[in-house]
Amino acid sequence: MEITYQYLAGLIDGEGCLMISKATRIAEAKRGIKFCPVMSVANNYLPLMEKIMLQFGGKIRNQGKPIQKVYNIYFSSNEIRELLPKLLPYLIVKKSQAEILLSYLEKMQQNGYRNISDELFAFYEECYEKLKQIKRIRFDYDKTPKEIGKLICPICKKEFIVFSNHPHKKFCSTSCKLKDCWTRSNARIRQDKLDLVNRN
Ligand SMILES: [Zn+2]
């Protein structure tokens, strides 16, 4: 079975990475800074990764503990330049990242690695920042709790908002939660004493 561009695009959308890495304090680079395009895809099923590598290129590196090994395929600048335009129509999540990466690669090919003008350097820097920003926005979006409803606290009878990060919250506050805990354990102690009295 051949792996289609659609399939590879899906993998990159899910477990892939499209970005520009930035290395600082590089002696031979102008301004000491070196940008490098990154396109990678990750999975823990080695036969799939080998298949992708055979068909599309890239190099496999593994990461993580032996028990939970994750394989990453990293593509070279030339491979990205060749592959990414073909994947672009099928990317959904990482489409805007792909477009930024491609515009960066295009500029890089036109101008070469040497004699980078201030203008060009600013453009590279901007691409790098944009990609970093997109990643951050998506990450924060997932972490920002959303309102999912309102409940009445059974202890203090006040209304409180339930957020998506604590969907099973039953009390308005920790102190009400503790009060409930105490009430229950006191009730249990009372009941135990009562049982003891009744038994005797
Ligand atoms: Zn309360």
Q: Give the residue extent of every domain in the chain.
A: 5-143, 147-199
pLDDT of residue 31: 77
pLDDT of residue 142: 57
**Please, are residues 43 and 49 in contact by the beta-carbon 8 Å criterion?**
yes
**Ligand 1 geometric centre to CA of 85 (Å):** 56
pLDDT band at 66 (very low <50, low <70, confident <90, very high): low
**Ligand 1 geometric centre to CA of 182 (Å):** 14
User: Please, what CATH class does the domain formed by 147-199 belong to?
Assistant: alpha beta
**Ligand 1 geometric centre to CA of 163 (Å):** 16
**Ligand 1 geometric centre to CA of 151 (Å):** 10
Q: What are phi and psi for residue 158, nearest 5 degrees?
A: -85, 155
pLDDT of residue 64: 65
The CATH number for 5-143, chosen from 3.30.930.10, 3.60.20.30, 3.10.28.10, 3.30.2040.10, is 3.10.28.10
**Ligand 1 geometric centre to CA of 172 (Å):** 4
pLDDT, tens digit (0-9, with 9 covering 90-100), for 81-123: 999 999 999 999 999 999 999 999 999 888 876 778 888 889 9
